[in-house]
Amino acid sequence: MALYVKAAEILEKSEMKQAALKTLVYESKFPNIKQLFALVCETEKFSSVLEEIIESTKLLKQAKLKMPLAKVLVYDLLIGRGLKCGGSWKTVMMKHRPRLQAALARLKVKQKVSKNEDLLPASVQKLSGIQLPRYARVNTLKTTVEDAVDYLKRDGFSYLGHASSLKDLTLRKKDFMIDMHLPELLVFSPKTDFHDHFLYTAGHFILQDKASCLPAYLLNPPVGSHLIDACAAPGNKTSHLAAIMKNKGRLFAFDLDAKRLATMSTLLLRAGVTCQRLANQDFLTVDPDSQEFKDVEYVLLDPSCSGSGMVCLRDDASSANQDKVQARLASLASFQLRCLNHGLKFPRLKRLVYSTCSVHRQENEDVVAACLQQNPGFSTAKTRTQGFFVALLEKHSGAGSPRPEPAVQRSKPEATPLGPSSCKKRPAASEEESGASETEEMKEVEEIEETEEKEMEETKEETPITAAGQADSTPGKKKRKRGKKKKKAAVE
C-alpha cells in the first residue's frame, strides 16, 4: 500500500514541476527504490491512456480516489504485473476490474491495435528506446571541475576528456567526459546514479539536464550584478546563476508556491548559495519601478509551461483530447506573454532569457514574436535543445517606447519530432560587463527528420556560429530574419 501512496505523491509533485521524476524518487527514501522508480516511470508513460480509461469508467467518483493514485493502481492492475497491495484498495480495484478491462479493450478496438504499447502516443513510442546521458553540473561555488574529475577518477570512474561530437556521448558504465558545449557539465552513461554519492549529497554536483543549464549560461550575468529569477523553484537554475556570479551581487528569486520555495531554500543551502533573496510572491505583482530593483539588469524567466519537451511528458498531436490540449496551450501562452512583457519593464534591463521545457510553437516562438511586436527595443537570440526552448532578448541602444500589446499568434502544433542538441555561443559581455566569462563556440544543428543515427553523422559537418542574437550597436537598427524557419526545443 505504501508503494502506491508514494508513487502517487511523486506523480503529483512531478506534474507540479517540483523536480524531475528520478530526483523525487531517490529523495523519497523509499525502501525499494527500483520498484518505485519503475512504477512511476511506467505510469507516467501510459498517463494519457490511463486517464482516458479512468474517466470513461468514472472510477474517481465510484472508488473515491484521486487521479494520481488511480493511475498507479490501474496501471498495475491492467498493464503491470498485478496489484501489490491487499486490504480495501485491492477489494475496490478488483470490484471495478471487469469495467476497467472492458474500457481498455474498447480503446484497443477504437485505435485498431492489439498491444498495450501500441496505445502510447506516437512521440512516446519513438522515444521509448532512446537513452539520454546522465548530466551533472559541477557546482563551482564548492569545488572546481578539475577537483571533481580527480575525485571521480579515484572513485573508479574513467575520464575520457572533452567531448567533440555527439558520438562521443555514447558512454559505457563508469565512463565520463566534459560536455562539448558547457565546460562545467560532466556527461555520464544513462544509468549512472549519483543520488547517494558524496559529490551530490555535499552539494558539489547539481544533477541538472543539459537543456536546463542553457538559460543561465546564456544569460551570463557578470560578477556583482543584480538579477531576477522570475519563476525560480525548484532552484537548479538559481544555483547556476549564483555560481556564474561567484555569489557576488544580488539574486532576487520569486515563486508563488510556498512548498516549492521551501524545497528550493534547502537546495540552495546545500549548494552554498548566499547571494539570493527569496520571495513567496507572484512575479507579475513585482513592481519594476521599486527602488529595490533599480539596479536589476538581467532577468531569467522560466514560467509554467506544458512540459511537452520532457521525454516522459511528450503529448500526441493526434490525440482525441486535442481541444483540451489547445485550450490549455492558449491559456499557458497568454500567461507566458504577460510574464515576458512584465520582465521587460525593469528600467535598467539589458538582457532577459525566456525558456520553457515545451516543444510547442504556441509557447515559444509565438510568445516571443508577440512580445517583440510590443517591445521593439529588444531583439532575440534563440537556441534549441531536445525538449527545451530558450530565447534571449537584448535591448537595443536608442530603443523606442513600447507598442500596444498584441495577442499571441496561434499556430498548429508541429507533430514532427525535433533533432539533436544544438546550442549557440554564450553571448559576449558588453564592455561594462568586465566580470563576464569569454564566449565559447557552439555548433548549430539544423532540424532534420531523419533517424537519430543520421543526425549524429550530419552534426559533424555543421559550422560554428557567432554569439546568438547580439544586439546591433547602431541606434534604431533592427535585425529581423523573416522567412527563415525558427527553431524549437529538443534534448536534455
What does the pLDDT look like over 334-353, one tens digit per residue? 999 999 999 999 999 999 99
Residue 310 amino acid letter:
M
CA–CA dist 294, 296 (Å, integer): 6
In 128-223, alpha helices (H): 145-154, 198-201, 210-219
Residue 46 has pLDDT above 70, yes or no: yes
Where does the pLDDT of residue 78 fall: very low under 50, low under 70, confident under 90, or very high at 90 and above? very high
Share of the chain above pLDDT 70, in %: 74
Q: Most confidently modeled of 5-14, 156-165, 478-487?
A: 156-165
pLDDT at 459: 39
Share of the chain above pLDDT 90, in %: 50
What does the pLDDT look like over 346-395, one tens digit per residue? 999 999 999 998 888 999 999 999 999 999 999 877 444 455 677 778 88
pLDDT at 484: 42
Give the bridge partners for 178, in sequence order.
162, 186
Residue 463 has pLDDT above 90, yes or no: no
By C-alpha distance, which of 185, 307, 306, 292 is closest to 228?
A: 292
In the chain, residues under CATH classification 3.30.70.1170 are: 134-207
The highest-level CATH class for domain 134-207 is: alpha beta
Give 455's Cβ-side CA count (13 Å radius): 19
CATH topology for 211-395 is Rossmann fold (3.40.50)
pLDDT at 437: 36
**More confident position, 297 or 446:** 297
Residue 50 has pLDDT above 90, yes or no: yes
Mean pLDDT of the chain: 79
C-alpha cell at 336: 507566458
What DSSP line would sit under 161-173, residue for residue? EE--SGGGG---T
CA–CA dist 105, 110 (Å, integer): 9
Q: Which of 184-193, 344-353, 399-408, 471-480 has the lowest mean pLDDT?
A: 471-480
pLDDT at 404: 60
pLDDT at 366: 94
Where does the pLDDT of residue 285 fall: very low under 50, low under 70, confident under 90, or very high at 90 and above? very high
pLDDT at 232: 94
Q: Are 153 and 254 in contact (CB under 8 A)?
A: no
pLDDT at 413: 37
- The pLDDT of 442-455, averaged and rounded, is 37
What does the pLDDT look like over 89-126, one tens digit per residue? 889 999 999 999 999 999 999 989 988 888 887 666 65
Where does the pLDDT of residue 41 fall: very low under 50, low under 70, confident under 90, or very high at 90 and above? confident
- The pLDDT of 76-88, averaged and rounded, is 86
CA–CA dist 436, 248 (Å, integer): 12
pLDDT at 130: 65
pLDDT at 431: 35
**More confident position, 393 or 64:** 64
Q: What is the pTM of this model?
A: 0.66
By C-alpha distance, which of 457, 455, 435, 437 is closest to 446?
A: 455
pLDDT at 313: 53
Where does the pLDDT of residue 128 fall: very low under 50, low under 70, confident under 90, or very high at 90 and above? low
Q: Which of 113-127, 139-153, 252-266 has the lowest mean pLDDT?
A: 113-127
Binding residues for S-adenosyl-L-methionine: 231-237, 255, 282, 302
CA–CA dist 297, 480 (Å, integer): 24
Active-site annotation, residues: 357
Q: Which of 17-31, 61-75, 345-359, 466-480 has the lowest mean pLDDT?
A: 466-480
- The pLDDT of 183-188, averaged and rounded, is 97
- The count of other CB atoms within 10 Å of the CB of residue 454 is 12
pLDDT at 399: 65
pLDDT at 258: 87
What does the pLDDT look like over 203-221, one tens digit per residue? 999 999 999 999 999 999 9
Between the CA of residue 3 and those of 7, 76, 83, what are the distances in Å?
A: 6, 11, 10
pLDDT at 125: 61
**More confident position, 334 or 309:** 334
Residue 214 amino acid letter:
L
Q: Parallel, antiparallel, or unpaired: how do β-strands 388-395 and 378-385 relate?
A: antiparallel
- The pLDDT of 211-232, averaged and rounded, is 96
In the chain, residues under CATH classification 3.40.50.150 are: 211-395
